[in-house]
Amino acid sequence: MRRPLEDVTILAVEQYGAGPWGTVHLADLGARIVKLEDPGSKGDIGRYVPPFQEGEDSLFFETFCHNKESISLDLRSAVGRETFERLVPHADAVFSNLRGDGPAKLRITYDDLKHLNPAIVCASLTGFGMTGPRAAEGGYDYIAQGMAGWMSLTGDPDGPPTKSGLSLVDMSTGYAAALGMMCALWRARRDGVGCDVDVSLFETALNLDMYVTTWHLSRGWEPIRTRNSSHPSIVPFGNFPTADGWVVIACAKQKFFENLCGALGTEWMLEDERFATMAARSEHRDACTAELEAVLATDTTAHWVAALAAADVPSGPIYSIAEACADPQTVARDLIAETEHPVLGTVRQVRSPLRMPGAAEELRPAPKRGEHTRQVLQELAGMEDDEIDRLAEAGAFGDVEV
Protein backbone atom coordinates (compact mmCIF):
# COMPACT_ATOMS: atom_id res chain seq x y z
CA MET A 1 0.00 0.00 0.00
CA ARG A 2 1.29 3.46 -0.91
CA ARG A 3 2.21 5.77 1.92
CA PRO A 4 -0.52 8.37 2.62
CA LEU A 5 1.57 11.47 1.84
CA GLU A 6 4.24 10.11 -0.47
CA ASP A 7 3.25 12.57 -3.20
CA VAL A 8 3.66 15.62 -0.93
CA THR A 9 6.84 17.73 -0.88
CA ILE A 10 7.37 20.43 1.74
CA LEU A 11 10.28 22.86 1.93
CA ALA A 12 10.74 23.49 5.65
CA VAL A 13 12.48 26.60 6.99
CA GLU A 14 12.16 25.15 10.47
CA GLN A 15 14.11 24.85 13.67
CA TYR A 16 13.98 23.70 17.27
CA GLY A 17 10.63 22.32 18.46
CA ALA A 18 7.19 23.47 17.37
CA GLY A 19 7.77 23.56 13.61
CA PRO A 20 9.75 20.33 13.31
CA TRP A 21 7.20 18.57 15.54
CA GLY A 22 4.44 19.35 13.06
CA THR A 23 6.35 18.19 10.00
CA VAL A 24 7.87 15.05 11.53
CA HIS A 25 4.41 13.47 11.69
CA LEU A 26 3.91 14.28 8.01
CA ALA A 27 7.31 12.73 7.30
CA ASP A 28 6.26 9.57 9.15
CA LEU A 29 3.25 9.40 6.81
CA GLY A 30 5.44 9.62 3.73
CA ALA A 31 5.73 13.34 2.97
CA ARG A 32 9.08 14.49 1.65
CA ILE A 33 10.19 17.06 4.21
CA VAL A 34 13.23 18.97 2.96
CA LYS A 35 14.79 21.04 5.73
CA LEU A 36 16.38 24.25 4.46
CA GLU A 37 19.14 24.82 7.01
CA ASP A 38 20.91 28.17 7.26
CA PRO A 39 24.69 27.66 6.93
CA GLY A 40 25.31 30.93 8.79
CA SER A 41 23.83 29.51 11.99
CA LYS A 42 25.15 25.99 11.37
CA GLY A 43 21.63 24.75 10.72
CA ASP A 44 18.76 23.87 13.02
CA ILE A 45 19.52 24.86 16.62
CA GLY A 46 17.95 21.56 17.68
CA ARG A 47 21.16 19.84 16.56
CA TYR A 48 22.98 21.39 19.52
CA VAL A 49 20.47 20.88 22.35
CA PRO A 50 21.92 19.02 25.38
CA PRO A 51 22.01 16.54 26.97
CA PHE A 52 23.10 13.65 24.73
CA GLN A 53 24.55 15.92 22.05
CA GLU A 54 27.71 15.26 20.06
CA GLY A 55 28.88 17.68 17.40
CA GLU A 56 25.93 18.43 15.13
CA ASP A 57 23.89 15.46 16.35
CA SER A 58 21.61 15.20 19.38
CA LEU A 59 18.84 12.96 20.63
CA PHE A 60 16.63 16.07 20.71
CA PHE A 61 17.17 16.57 16.97
CA GLU A 62 16.52 12.89 16.29
CA THR A 63 13.13 13.17 17.98
CA PHE A 64 12.01 16.02 15.73
CA CYS A 65 13.79 15.35 12.47
CA HIS A 66 13.94 11.62 11.68
CA ASN A 67 12.64 10.65 8.24
CA LYS A 68 13.56 14.09 6.84
CA GLU A 69 16.11 15.38 4.32
CA SER A 70 18.41 18.37 4.71
CA ILE A 71 19.89 20.89 2.33
CA SER A 72 22.15 23.74 3.36
CA LEU A 73 20.94 26.99 1.79
CA ASP A 74 21.55 30.67 2.46
CA LEU A 75 18.19 32.22 1.61
CA ARG A 76 19.51 35.74 2.22
CA SER A 77 22.12 35.53 -0.53
CA ALA A 78 21.36 36.08 -4.21
CA VAL A 79 22.58 32.61 -5.21
CA GLY A 80 20.75 31.01 -2.31
CA ARG A 81 17.54 32.76 -3.33
CA GLU A 82 18.08 31.71 -6.93
CA THR A 83 18.39 28.08 -5.79
CA PHE A 84 15.31 28.33 -3.57
CA GLU A 85 13.22 29.71 -6.42
CA ARG A 86 14.21 26.75 -8.55
CA LEU A 87 12.74 24.43 -5.91
CA VAL A 88 9.45 26.23 -5.23
CA PRO A 89 7.71 25.21 -8.50
CA HIS A 90 8.25 21.56 -7.59
CA ALA A 91 7.01 21.79 -3.98
CA ASP A 92 3.53 21.68 -2.50
CA ALA A 93 4.27 23.90 0.47
CA VAL A 94 6.83 26.16 2.10
CA PHE A 95 6.67 25.85 5.87
CA SER A 96 8.42 28.02 8.44
CA ASN A 97 8.53 28.70 12.15
CA LEU A 98 9.96 32.18 12.65
CA ARG A 99 8.93 35.45 14.26
CA GLY A 100 5.74 36.86 12.80
CA ASP A 101 7.60 39.31 10.56
CA GLY A 102 10.11 36.65 9.47
CA PRO A 103 8.26 35.18 6.46
CA ALA A 104 7.88 38.63 4.87
CA LYS A 105 11.55 39.47 5.51
CA LEU A 106 12.65 36.19 3.91
CA ARG A 107 10.09 36.65 1.12
CA ILE A 108 8.46 33.27 1.64
CA THR A 109 4.81 34.36 1.83
CA TYR A 110 2.26 33.41 -0.80
CA ASP A 111 2.45 36.84 -2.44
CA ASP A 112 6.22 36.42 -2.71
CA LEU A 113 6.06 32.97 -4.32
CA LYS A 114 2.77 32.67 -6.23
CA HIS A 115 4.40 33.81 -9.48
CA LEU A 116 6.63 30.74 -9.25
CA ASN A 117 3.88 28.33 -8.25
CA PRO A 118 0.24 29.54 -8.04
CA ALA A 119 -0.70 26.44 -5.99
CA ILE A 120 2.04 26.83 -3.38
CA VAL A 121 0.91 26.79 0.26
CA CYS A 122 2.96 29.03 2.56
CA ALA A 123 2.44 27.95 6.16
CA SER A 124 3.90 30.04 8.97
CA LEU A 125 4.09 28.99 12.61
CA THR A 126 4.98 32.02 14.73
CA GLY A 127 4.83 33.20 18.30
CA PHE A 128 1.94 35.63 17.95
CA GLY A 129 0.83 35.53 14.31
CA MET A 130 1.84 37.50 11.24
CA THR A 131 -0.18 40.62 12.13
CA GLY A 132 -1.00 42.61 15.26
CA PRO A 133 1.12 44.55 17.75
CA ARG A 134 3.13 41.50 18.86
CA ALA A 135 3.86 40.10 15.40
CA ALA A 136 7.58 40.91 15.54
CA GLU A 137 8.06 39.54 19.07
CA GLY A 138 9.78 36.25 19.76
CA GLY A 139 7.53 33.56 21.15
CA TYR A 140 8.29 30.45 23.16
CA ASP A 141 6.16 27.75 24.73
CA TYR A 142 6.77 29.05 28.28
CA ILE A 143 5.68 32.55 27.29
CA ALA A 144 2.53 31.29 25.59
CA GLN A 145 1.65 29.13 28.60
CA GLY A 146 1.92 32.22 30.79
CA MET A 147 0.10 34.66 28.52
CA ALA A 148 -2.74 32.31 27.58
CA GLY A 149 -3.59 31.66 31.21
CA TRP A 150 -2.30 28.09 31.43
CA MET A 151 0.07 28.80 34.32
CA SER A 152 -2.66 30.56 36.27
CA LEU A 153 -4.68 27.34 36.10
CA THR A 154 -1.90 24.88 36.88
CA GLY A 155 -0.59 23.76 40.26
CA ASP A 156 -2.05 23.60 43.76
CA PRO A 157 -4.10 26.57 45.01
CA ASP A 158 -1.38 27.85 47.34
CA GLY A 159 1.51 27.32 44.92
CA PRO A 160 3.06 29.59 42.29
CA PRO A 161 1.88 29.79 38.66
CA THR A 162 3.10 26.56 37.09
CA LYS A 163 3.80 25.39 33.54
CA SER A 164 2.92 21.96 32.31
CA GLY A 165 5.70 19.40 32.49
CA LEU A 166 6.14 19.31 28.71
CA SER A 167 6.16 21.93 25.95
CA LEU A 168 2.52 21.31 25.13
CA VAL A 169 1.96 24.65 23.38
CA ASP A 170 4.83 23.90 21.00
CA MET A 171 3.54 20.42 20.30
CA SER A 172 -0.09 21.47 19.89
CA THR A 173 0.84 24.31 17.56
CA GLY A 174 2.95 21.94 15.49
CA TYR A 175 -0.08 19.69 15.08
CA ALA A 176 -2.29 22.70 14.26
CA ALA A 177 0.17 23.96 11.64
CA ALA A 178 0.39 20.53 10.02
CA LEU A 179 -3.40 20.25 9.91
CA GLY A 180 -3.82 23.74 8.47
CA MET A 181 -1.11 23.19 5.89
CA MET A 182 -2.61 19.90 4.70
CA CYS A 183 -6.11 21.42 4.47
CA ALA A 184 -4.75 24.30 2.39
CA LEU A 185 -2.80 21.85 0.24
CA TRP A 186 -5.95 19.83 -0.41
CA ARG A 187 -7.76 22.98 -1.56
CA ALA A 188 -4.79 24.04 -3.70
CA ARG A 189 -4.83 20.71 -5.51
CA ARG A 190 -8.58 21.00 -6.00
CA ASP A 191 -8.73 24.66 -7.06
CA GLY A 192 -5.18 25.34 -8.27
CA VAL A 193 -4.67 28.27 -5.90
CA GLY A 194 -2.50 28.28 -2.78
CA CYS A 195 -2.52 30.66 0.18
CA ASP A 196 -0.87 31.66 3.42
CA VAL A 197 -1.59 29.62 6.56
CA ASP A 198 -1.04 31.69 9.71
CA VAL A 199 -0.74 29.70 12.98
CA SER A 200 0.69 30.96 16.27
CA LEU A 201 1.68 29.63 19.67
CA PHE A 202 -0.41 32.23 21.49
CA GLU A 203 -3.60 31.64 19.54
CA THR A 204 -3.27 27.87 19.78
CA ALA A 205 -2.73 28.09 23.54
CA LEU A 206 -5.68 30.45 23.97
CA ASN A 207 -7.86 28.15 21.85
CA LEU A 208 -6.86 25.24 24.07
CA ASP A 209 -8.34 27.05 27.06
CA MET A 210 -11.54 25.66 25.49
CA TYR A 211 -14.59 25.67 27.76
CA VAL A 212 -12.74 27.68 30.41
CA THR A 213 -12.77 30.77 28.17
CA THR A 214 -16.35 30.05 27.09
CA TRP A 215 -17.46 29.99 30.73
CA HIS A 216 -15.51 33.18 31.45
CA LEU A 217 -16.55 35.14 28.37
CA SER A 218 -20.18 34.05 28.51
CA ARG A 219 -20.87 34.06 32.25
CA GLY A 220 -17.95 35.88 33.86
CA TRP A 221 -16.64 32.70 35.50
CA GLU A 222 -13.24 33.11 37.15
CA PRO A 223 -11.10 29.95 37.03
CA ILE A 224 -9.49 28.68 40.21
CA ARG A 225 -6.75 26.16 40.85
CA THR A 226 -7.87 22.91 42.39
CA ARG A 227 -6.11 20.61 44.83
CA ASN A 228 -4.33 17.57 43.36
CA SER A 229 -5.13 18.60 39.77
CA SER A 230 -8.81 17.84 40.11
CA HIS A 231 -11.38 18.81 37.50
CA PRO A 232 -12.91 22.28 38.07
CA SER A 233 -16.51 21.05 38.08
CA ILE A 234 -16.67 17.23 38.02
CA VAL A 235 -16.10 15.36 41.30
CA PRO A 236 -14.36 12.94 41.68
CA PHE A 237 -12.06 13.60 38.75
CA GLY A 238 -8.38 14.01 39.61
CA ASN A 239 -5.38 12.59 41.44
CA PHE A 240 -5.77 10.60 44.65
CA PRO A 241 -2.99 9.42 46.99
CA THR A 242 -2.79 5.71 47.82
CA ALA A 243 -0.72 3.85 50.40
CA ASP A 244 2.33 3.88 48.11
CA GLY A 245 1.66 6.30 45.24
CA TRP A 246 -1.09 7.95 43.25
CA VAL A 247 -4.04 6.97 41.11
CA VAL A 248 -6.08 9.07 38.67
CA ILE A 249 -9.86 8.61 38.92
CA ALA A 250 -12.18 10.13 36.32
CA CYS A 251 -15.89 9.79 37.08
CA ALA A 252 -17.21 11.86 34.19
CA LYS A 253 -20.60 10.10 34.38
CA GLN A 254 -22.90 9.27 37.28
CA LYS A 255 -22.61 5.56 36.58
CA PHE A 256 -18.86 5.71 37.11
CA PHE A 257 -19.29 7.24 40.55
CA GLU A 258 -21.75 4.50 41.40
CA ASN A 259 -19.20 1.91 40.22
CA LEU A 260 -16.50 3.65 42.28
CA CYS A 261 -18.58 3.46 45.44
CA GLY A 262 -19.09 -0.25 44.84
CA ALA A 263 -15.35 -0.83 44.41
CA LEU A 264 -14.45 1.18 47.53
CA GLY A 265 -17.26 -0.10 49.73
CA THR A 266 -18.72 3.41 50.12
CA GLU A 267 -22.20 2.73 48.76
CA TRP A 268 -23.56 4.89 51.59
CA MET A 269 -22.35 7.95 49.68
CA LEU A 270 -25.02 7.33 47.05
CA GLU A 271 -27.68 7.91 49.71
CA ASP A 272 -26.03 11.02 51.12
CA GLU A 273 -27.62 14.11 49.56
CA ARG A 274 -24.21 15.81 49.53
CA PHE A 275 -22.79 13.19 47.15
CA ALA A 276 -25.77 11.63 45.37
CA THR A 277 -25.60 13.72 42.19
CA MET A 278 -22.85 15.35 40.09
CA ALA A 279 -24.11 18.82 41.02
CA ALA A 280 -24.13 17.98 44.74
CA ARG A 281 -20.62 16.52 44.62
CA SER A 282 -19.34 19.63 42.88
CA GLU A 283 -20.86 21.80 45.62
CA HIS A 284 -19.41 19.59 48.38
CA ARG A 285 -16.09 18.86 46.67
CA ASP A 286 -13.88 18.89 49.77
CA ALA A 287 -16.10 16.58 51.81
CA CYS A 288 -16.51 14.12 48.95
CA THR A 289 -12.79 14.05 48.23
CA ALA A 290 -11.90 13.55 51.88
CA GLU A 291 -14.15 10.48 52.16
CA LEU A 292 -12.62 8.89 49.06
CA GLU A 293 -9.03 9.72 50.05
CA ALA A 294 -9.48 8.04 53.42
CA VAL A 295 -10.39 4.74 51.76
CA LEU A 296 -7.82 4.92 48.94
CA ALA A 297 -5.02 5.52 51.45
CA THR A 298 -5.60 2.07 52.96
CA ASP A 299 -4.12 0.09 50.07
CA THR A 300 -1.61 0.25 47.24
CA THR A 301 -1.87 1.82 43.81
CA ALA A 302 -1.66 -1.63 42.17
CA HIS A 303 -4.54 -2.89 44.29
CA TRP A 304 -6.79 0.03 43.46
CA VAL A 305 -5.91 0.09 39.76
CA ALA A 306 -6.96 -3.55 39.49
CA ALA A 307 -10.10 -3.08 41.60
CA LEU A 308 -11.24 0.02 39.73
CA ALA A 309 -10.61 -1.56 36.33
CA ALA A 310 -12.69 -4.58 37.35
CA ALA A 311 -15.50 -2.23 38.43
CA ASP A 312 -15.39 -0.25 35.15
CA VAL A 313 -14.17 2.98 36.73
CA PRO A 314 -11.99 5.07 34.37
CA SER A 315 -8.70 5.24 36.21
CA GLY A 316 -4.98 4.63 36.00
CA PRO A 317 -1.72 4.87 37.90
CA ILE A 318 0.46 7.97 37.78
CA TYR A 319 3.54 6.61 36.06
CA SER A 320 7.10 7.77 35.72
CA ILE A 321 8.40 8.02 32.14
CA ALA A 322 10.15 4.67 32.61
CA GLU A 323 6.93 3.01 33.76
CA ALA A 324 4.94 4.52 30.88
CA CYS A 325 7.43 3.16 28.34
CA ALA A 326 7.24 -0.31 29.92
CA ASP A 327 3.46 -0.51 30.21
CA PRO A 328 1.98 -3.65 28.56
CA GLN A 329 -0.05 -1.45 26.21
CA THR A 330 3.13 0.28 25.05
CA VAL A 331 4.74 -3.10 24.35
CA ALA A 332 1.68 -4.65 22.71
CA ARG A 333 1.26 -1.71 20.34
CA ASP A 334 4.99 -1.66 19.47
CA LEU A 335 5.20 2.03 20.33
CA ILE A 336 8.98 2.17 20.70
CA ALA A 337 10.98 2.48 17.47
CA GLU A 338 14.69 1.77 17.29
CA THR A 339 17.21 3.16 14.81
CA GLU A 340 20.98 3.00 14.49
CA HIS A 341 22.70 6.36 14.22
CA PRO A 342 26.31 6.66 12.96
CA VAL A 343 27.29 8.97 15.84
CA LEU A 344 24.69 8.48 18.59
CA GLY A 345 24.43 4.71 18.30
CA THR A 346 21.11 3.07 19.14
CA VAL A 347 18.31 5.61 19.32
CA ARG A 348 14.98 4.51 20.82
CA GLN A 349 11.98 6.81 20.60
CA VAL A 350 8.20 6.73 20.63
CA ARG A 351 6.44 6.31 17.28
CA SER A 352 3.92 8.79 15.91
CA PRO A 353 0.41 8.25 17.28
CA LEU A 354 -0.98 8.62 13.74
CA ARG A 355 -1.51 4.98 12.84
CA MET A 356 -2.78 3.95 9.43
CA PRO A 357 -1.72 1.66 6.60
CA GLY A 358 1.43 2.99 4.97
CA ALA A 359 2.72 4.89 8.00
CA ALA A 360 6.41 4.48 8.72
CA GLU A 361 7.33 1.12 10.24
CA GLU A 362 11.04 1.87 10.29
CA LEU A 363 12.49 5.31 11.00
CA ARG A 364 15.44 6.82 9.15
CA PRO A 365 17.91 8.73 11.32
CA ALA A 366 17.72 12.51 11.17
CA PRO A 367 19.86 13.91 8.34
CA LYS A 368 23.32 15.34 8.56
CA ARG A 369 23.33 19.07 7.88
CA GLY A 370 23.12 19.53 4.12
CA GLU A 371 23.29 15.77 3.53
CA HIS A 372 20.78 15.77 0.68
CA THR A 373 21.66 19.08 -0.99
CA ARG A 374 22.87 17.69 -4.32
CA GLN A 375 20.25 14.93 -4.40
CA VAL A 376 17.32 17.30 -3.77
CA LEU A 377 18.51 19.84 -6.34
CA GLN A 378 18.89 17.11 -8.93
CA GLU A 379 15.61 15.36 -8.23
CA LEU A 380 13.34 18.34 -7.57
CA ALA A 381 14.84 21.15 -9.62
CA GLY A 382 16.44 19.03 -12.33
CA MET A 383 19.84 20.68 -11.86
CA GLU A 384 22.99 19.24 -13.39
CA ASP A 385 26.19 18.72 -11.44
CA ASP A 386 28.00 21.64 -13.07
CA GLU A 387 25.23 24.06 -12.11
CA ILE A 388 25.22 22.80 -8.53
CA ASP A 389 28.99 23.17 -8.43
CA ARG A 390 28.66 26.77 -9.67
CA LEU A 391 26.21 27.59 -6.90
CA ALA A 392 28.47 25.95 -4.33
CA GLU A 393 31.42 28.05 -5.46
CA ALA A 394 29.24 31.18 -5.21
CA GLY A 395 28.46 30.36 -1.58
CA ALA A 396 24.81 29.23 -1.82
CA PHE A 397 25.41 26.29 0.51
CA GLY A 398 27.86 27.84 2.95
CA ASP A 399 30.41 25.48 4.47
CA VAL A 400 28.65 22.23 3.47
CA GLU A 401 30.33 20.08 0.85
CA VAL A 402 27.82 18.95 -1.76
Residue spans of the domains in the chain: they are: 9-208+335-393, 227-241+246-317
CA–CA dist 81, 105 (Å, integer): 13
- 229 vs 368, residue with greater confidence: 368
Question: Is residue 196 among the annotated active site residues?
Answer: no
Among 170, 191, 196, 312, the active-site one is: 170
- Please state which CATH class domain 9-208+335-393 belongs to: alpha beta
361 pLDDT above the threshold of 90: no
Asked if the model's pLDDT at residue 224 lies above 90, the reply is no
Residues 6+ apart with CB under 8 A from 59: 51, 52, 53, 344, 347
Peptide bond just before 4 cis, omega within 30 deg: no
Residues in the chain: 402
- Taking each helix axis from N to C terminus, what angle separates 18-28 and 168-191, rounded to the nearest 10 degrees? 50
Superfamily (CATH H level) for 227-241+246-317:
formyl-coa transferase, domain 3 (3.30.1540.10)
pLDDT digits (tens, 9 = 90+) for 175-194: 999 999 999 999 999 999 99
Tell me the average pLDDT across 359-364: 90
Backbone phi and psi for residue 55, each to the nearest 5 degrees, phi listed first:
65, -125
How sure is the predictor about 258, in pLDDT bands with cuts at 50, 70 and 90? very high
Helix axis angle for 285-296 and 254-264, nearest 10°, is 40
What DSSP designation does 369 have?
A: T
